[in-house]
Amino acid sequence: MKPAWLSDAVLYQIYPQSFQDTNGDGIGDFQGIIKRLDYIRSIGVNTLWLNPCFDSPFGDAGYDVRDFYKVAPRYGTEADLVQLFEEAHLRGMHVILDLVAGHTSMDNEWFKAEAADPKNPNSNRYIWKNRDFDPSKGPDKEDFVANFFWYQPALNYGYVNPTEPWQDPMDAPGPMKNRQEMKDIIDYWLSRGCDGFRVDMAASLIKFGPDDGEARLEAMHAFWQEMRQWQESKYPESVLVAEWSNPAQAIAAGFHLDFMMHFNAPGYPSLFFNGVGAIPDKEGPCYFDADGQGDPHFFMTEYKRHLDAMDGKGYVSLPTANHDFQRPRCGKRGWEGLRPVWVFLMTQAGLPTIYYGDEIGMRYDETTPAKEGSTLTGILPANAGAANGERSGTRTPMQWDSTKNDGFSIADADQLYLPVDADPDRPNVEKQENDSGSILNFARKLLKIRSEHRSLGADASYRYVDVDGAAYPLVIERQSENERCLIVVNPSRESLTVIVPVATTQAKTILTGGCGLWFQDTGVKVTVSAFGYGIFLLD
């Protein structure tokens, strides 16, 4: 069963540190998000996803949790967070928190207790490879299994097939203790008004050997299906969102939504990654590029595979960006290339996800200094080919207006969490509110169109229309029970004319930017200008 509100959800990801500061300390906070709820709602968004906001030493920007039952003081109090839930609900909005289920900070009391008494049989929340270290000196990083950064000790959910004495089976006391703790954490926040969780590294919990792939997948499915059934029994309108980046697997595991992005599910990088940013262009020339050298077929094959696997049980999301990889406006892709990106992303199947600031065309800023574990260099696999391995360029402060620090904070510039983009032509919300042709108002228009046409919604069918094997333009057909739409997108600088093989005798223009249709016996003749687009309602 899916929550009734989910099929119409439009997500907006907020990096809390960088969104809005209200107390002048240079760091964003819960009251700042509350202050901006009406703005967020005006875009057409009805669901917020907040990056981790639990107590943390912030070695990895909050993904190293010290206390899952306490909010980080930098953001405010638990009462502030509960107020955020309440204020969002008054506006018909939902709030999803980030749950780091697979690891903690070394500052977590659980870890400190086990490090102080490693040979205690109850020291089993973590995976200790070696318990013979001197507790007075503490463990070295080789003494325990970590997730991602070495200082993020992995919580013990067991091994599919234990092969070493220090590896526990999945039903051992430590793994069972952690399963129950996860339920307790989920229950704690859902009972206070949270509407669900996005689970960080959701596929990483149960450990496995090189020959255990299928068995491990079955074990992870069983684990999350148990969590979903338990959560649904107590909070039927809550959601579980995965960072699995393999929607076909994640939805089968019991999640309501998963993202197709920069890992596990190939295809997304071939659309957008153009060699600039934290994550590289691993799959050849990107499609949304003015040079027009990309190819959509690889992405479309993978995307359709995931869509077909949904079977009405969940959704795929193609985010505009997120805190780990670069924004659409980066490298050679300037303002003229953004509208085709927005038309494409807001008309796809599944649920749209907007990363804060993308709606005004904030850019990935290569000059931003590293902050709180933002650097991926040395963390990504050697063959990942990261452009610079630096994630901070996509985490800069939200640009609200032309006042000090772009309205993000009244703090001095050297106190800001990260510096504001120094580009003198940087956009802000205030400027774009009053410009009918701005990206912000274009995004609003697209989401309004999506809400008015069921054929563009999450549950409508999806078909990539192959135009005689040509890579450009991109043509997609969406259809609901009573409506059919054609979407045309040309991210290249060349004007194009093609014959699209769809059966129709008339069409109504919903939105166009340099795109027109003419009807012929063999299909529809489409002309589209450079960086053009069109959405048409077919008979």
Q: Is 129 left (phi over 0), alpha (psi -120 to 50) or beta?
A: alpha
489 and 416 together in one domain: no
Q: Residue 207 falls within a domain, yes or no? A: yes
Residue 487's domain comprises 461-538
What's the mean pLDDT in 132-157?
96
Domain tally, the chain: 2
Please report which confidence band the pLDDT of residue 35 belongs to, taking 50, 70 and 90 as the band edges: very high
283 pLDDT exceeds 90? no
Residue-level pLDDT at 522: 79
Q: Residue 54 falls within a domain, yes or no? A: yes
For residue 155, which of 102, 198, 110 has the smallest C-alpha distance?
102
For residue 440, which of 405, 395, 400, 492 has the smallest C-alpha distance?
400
418 and 286 together in one domain: yes
**pLDDT (tens digit per residue) in 326-362:** 999 999 999 999 999 999 999 999 999 999 999 999 9
Residue-level pLDDT at 388: 67
Q: Residue 143 falls within a domain, yes or no? A: no
28 and 64 together in one domain: yes
398 and 528 together in one domain: no
Please report which confidence band the pLDDT of residue 209 belongs to, taking 50, 70 and 90 as the band edges: confident
Residue-level pLDDT at 266: 87
47 pLDDT exceeds 50? yes
Residue-level pLDDT at 418: 98
431 and 481 together in one domain: no
Residue-level pLDDT at 280: 75
91 pLDDT exceeds 70? yes
Quote the DSSP letter at residue 372: S
- The Cα 81–Cα 69 span in angstroms is 12
Residues for the chain: how many in total? Answer: 539
Chain Cα centroid distance, residue 63: 15
Residue-level pLDDT at 387: 56
Please report which confidence band the pLDDT of residue 379 belongs to, taking 50, 70 and 90 as the band edges: low
Please report which confidence band the pLDDT of residue 385 belongs to, taking 50, 70 and 90 as the band edges: very low
What's the mean pLDDT in 413-428?
97
CA distances from 277 to 260, 327, 395, 492 (A): 18, 8, 12, 21
26 pLDDT exceeds 90? yes
Last residue of a domain, one of 451, 477, 501: 451
Last residue of a domain, one of 451, 477, 508: 451
Q: Residue 51 falls within a domain, yes or no? A: yes
439 and 469 together in one domain: no
Last residue of a domain, one of 420, 451, 482: 451
State the average pLDDT for the chain: 95
17 and 54 together in one domain: yes
- The Cα 442–Cα 364 span in angstroms is 20
What's the mean pLDDT in 512-520?
93
Q: Residue 329 falls within a domain, yes or no? A: yes
The residues, any chain, with a CB within 8 Å of residue 270's CB and separated by 6 or more, are: 283, 284, 286, 287, 294, 295, 296, 298, 299
Residue-level pLDDT at 504: 87
Kindly report which listed range (20-29, 232-241, 504-513, 529-538) carries the lowest average pLDDT score: 504-513
Q: Residue 44 falls within a domain, yes or no? A: yes
What's the mean pLDDT in 189-209?
96
- The Cα 313–Cα 322 span in angstroms is 24
466 and 422 together in one domain: no
CATH number of the domain encompassing residue 505: 2.60.40.1180
Q: Residue 401 falls within a domain, yes or no? A: yes
Q: Residue 130 falls within a domain, yes or no? A: no
Cα torsion for 504, 507, 513, 517, to the nearest 10°? 50
425 and 473 together in one domain: no
290 pLDDT exceeds 70? yes
341 and 446 together in one domain: yes
CATH number of the domain encompassing residue 93: 3.20.20.80
381 pLDDT exceeds 70? no
144 pLDDT exceeds 90? yes
383 pLDDT exceeds 50? no
The residue among 40 and 385 whose pLDDT is bigger is 40
What's the mean pLDDT in 282-292?
91
What's the mean pLDDT in 262-282?
88
Do the Cβ atoms of 539 and 507 come closer than 8 Å?
yes
The residue among 275 and 387 whose pLDDT is bigger is 275
pTM of the model: 0.97
For residue 295, which of 462, 466, 472, 486 has the smallest C-alpha distance?
472
What's the mean pLDDT in 368-375?
95
**pLDDT (tens digit per residue) in 424-462:** 999 999 999 999 999 999 999 999 999 999 999 999 999
53 and 188 together in one domain: yes
For residue 93, which of 32, 39, 36, 47 has the smallest C-alpha distance?
47
349 and 304 together in one domain: yes
Angle of the 173-190 helix axis to the 213-234 helix axis, nearest 10:
40
521 pLDDT exceeds 90? no
